[in-house]
Amino acid sequence: MGVPVSVSAQAIAEAVGREMFARDHASQAMGMQLDEIRPGYARMSMSVRRDMLNGHEICHGGYIFSLADSTFAFACNSYNFNSVAQMANITFVAAGRLDDRLTAVAVEQTAGGRTGVYDVAVTRQDGQVIALFRGNSYRIKGEVVADLSKAP
């Protein structure tokens, strides 16, 4: 028996991403994909479907918020500490349209103690910013994946 070896921060983030996404039925139902995850960072994408359009024939803001919120969740849980949203707000700056491919990128701005602040930019396939989201996270008890910080 050897001395336990620590798992890298990137390996932890990837394991958390796999486990969380497997359990995230809401994001899956909306057609979201987890494209990349790193400590304090996540990138997700989804295509705008007809059932996501509102009465103006543009993507309903709730779907855009959901993409940003899910991406925020993956970024703030990437350290394997259970974290939930404490507060979030969004500014819509352009419309998403049928068949657009939306990508959200969440970046940690600060984290310490039990709280963190994350900014998320949602863009279309042409690079146009659709929305800007800021979320505050709060760490609760437990880990996303039990005993992940220790190698077997």
pLDDT for the residue 3: 42
pLDDT for the residue 149: 65
Report, as an integer, the average pLDDT of 47-59. 98
Per-residue 3-state assignment (H helix, E strand, C coil) for 114-143: CEEEEEEEEECCCCCEEEEEEEEEEECCCC
Q: Do the strands 129-139 and 83-92 form a parallel or antiparallel pair, or are they unpaired?
A: antiparallel
pLDDT band at 49 (very low <50, low <70, confident <90, very high): very high
- Is residue 108 within 8 Å of 41, Cβ to Cβ? yes
Is pLDDT of 42 > 60? yes
pLDDT for the residue 77: 98
pLDDT band at 150 (very low <50, low <70, confident <90, very high): low
Q: What is the pLDDT of residues 70-105, one digit of tens each?
A: 999 999 999 999 999 999 999 999 999 999 999 999
CA 13 from centroid of its chain's CA atoms? 12
pLDDT for the residue 6: 61
Report, as an integer, the average pLDDT of 108-136. 97
pLDDT for the residue 5: 46
Q: Give the sign of the dihedral formed by CA 143, CA 62, CA 53, CA 92.
A: negative
Report, as an integer, the average pLDDT of 29-44. 98
Return the number of other C-beta atoms located less than 10 Å from residue 56's C-beta.
Answer: 8
String of DSSP letters for 14-26: HHHHHHHHHH-HH
Question: E strands within the chain?
Answer: 33-38, 41-47, 83-92, 101-112, 115-123, 129-139
- Is residue 56 within 8 Å of 124, Cβ to Cβ? no
CA 112 from centroid of its chain's CA atoms? 19
Amino acid at position 79, single letter? Y
Q: Which H helix or E strand runs over 13?
A: helix 9-23
SS3 38: strand
